[in-house]
């Protein structure tokens, strides 16, 4: 090969470039093997497994957007629809969490979740940033479905203030900085940036707070359709007639800002997060 390059008047590649090319080729081979292995896992006893086998389902939420309720509904839809939903260990998630909450979907965390999901599917809740492009596939998942819950930032601010008040009374740190609307803006801005990272990653199924909480049956039906599962929305929602079963339930009131926020604060929030209102108003 080197003689052929010389005959054409071309300089041979340096040893460093050859080594770099070999590393890239090896990485490509490993990614292909992971995907082939995942696809092989989808065949059980000679027949095709459930369509959601090898799927990572992500439930991303802005804070105070009923993201815990969304995760509960998705979990119950998956169970009722017969999906092979894995129960993840604290080790895979990075910390104990009843909601399968994952703070950061790093390559290491994704790989651990993929190992535990095996031939099944995994459902995780997160408030964090999206992983880099291709990271979910590189972890061995054959497919991904992302839901994202959002809410009017004016209502998020009020709910953050409520949470901060409860935290200070309990002597814990969650959102203690959110003493007023002004002090809540940084938290909301960061949260919107995390949601934007998921929107940039690919297809995202958006779920508004108002639809989730006040048009719940239709929202459950849309979620099930996205997952290609058949469920009865009334049966899914029946346990949550008792609001105490909804983790982190606060007030559950639509458009609180209209009666609980000053006109000056409402205008400030709307101007601060114009990018949100341009997209969702």
Sort residue 272 into left (φ over 0), alpha (ψ -120 to 50) or beta: alpha
- Which helix H or strand E contains 32, and what residues bound it? helix 15-41
* 105 has a pLDDT exceeding 50: yes
Looking at the chain, the number of H-run helices and the number of E-run strands are: 14, 6
Q: What is the pLDDT of residues 1-19, one digit of tens each?
A: 444 444 545 455 565 565 5
- Which helix H or strand E contains 218, and what residues bound it? helix 216-226
Q: What is the pLDDT of residues 69-97, one digit of tens each?
A: 999 999 999 999 999 999 999 999 999 88
35 vs 192: CA distance, rounded Å: 32
pLDDT-above-90 percentage for the chain: 64
Which tokens hold the place of 1?
A: 């090969």
Nearest Cα to Cα of residue 266 among 160, 151, 150, 153: 153
Judge whether 156 and 65 are in contact, CB under 8 Å. Answer: yes
* 46 has a pLDDT exceeding 60: no
Which tokens hold the place of 28?
A: 């490509």
Sort residue 247 into left (φ over 0), alpha (ψ -120 to 50) or beta: beta
Q: What is the pLDDT of residues 121-162, one digit of tens each?
A: 999 999 999 999 999 999 999 999 999 999 999 999 999 999
Q: Mention every residue, 6+ apart, whose C-beta is less than 8 A from residue 144.
A: 55, 56, 57, 58, 136, 137, 202
Number of C-beta neighbours around residue 59 at 10 A = 27
């Amino acid at each position: 090969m080197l003689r052929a390059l010389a005959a054409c008047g071309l300089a041979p590649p340096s040893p460093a470039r050859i080594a770099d090319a070999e590393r890239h080729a090896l990485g490509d081979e490993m990614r292909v093997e992971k995907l082939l292995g995942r696809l092989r896992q989808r065949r059980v006893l000679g027949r095709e497994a459930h369509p959601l086998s090898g799927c990572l389902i992500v439930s991303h939420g802005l804070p105070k957007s009923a993201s815990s309720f969304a995760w509960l509904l998705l979990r119950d839809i998956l169970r009722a629809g017969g999906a092979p939903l894995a129960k993840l260990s604290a080790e895979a998630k990075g910390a104990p969490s009843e909601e399968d909450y994952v703070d950061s979907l790093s390559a290491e965390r994704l790989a651990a979740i993929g190992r535990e999901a095996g031939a099944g599917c995994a459902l995780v809740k997160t408030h964090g940033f999206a992983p880099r492009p291709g990271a979910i596939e590189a972890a061995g998942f054959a497919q991904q479905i992302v839901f994202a819950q959002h809410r009017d930032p004016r209502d998020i601010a009020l709910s953050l203030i409520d949470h901060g008040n409860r935290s200070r009374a309990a002597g814990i740190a969650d959102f203690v900085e959110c003493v007023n609307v002004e002090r809540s803006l940084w938290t909301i801005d960061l949260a919107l940036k995390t949601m934007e990272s998921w929107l940039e990653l690919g297809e995202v199924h958006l779920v508004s707070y108002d639809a989730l909480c006040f048009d719940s049956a239709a929202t459950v039906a849309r979620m099930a359709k996205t997952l290609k599962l058949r469920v009865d929305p009334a049966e899914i929602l029946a346990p949550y007639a008792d609001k105490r079963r909804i983790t982190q339930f606060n007030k559950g009131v639509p458009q609180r800002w209209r009666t609980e926020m000053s006109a000056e604060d409402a205008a400030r929030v709307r101007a601060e997060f114009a990018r949100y209102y341009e997209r969702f108003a």
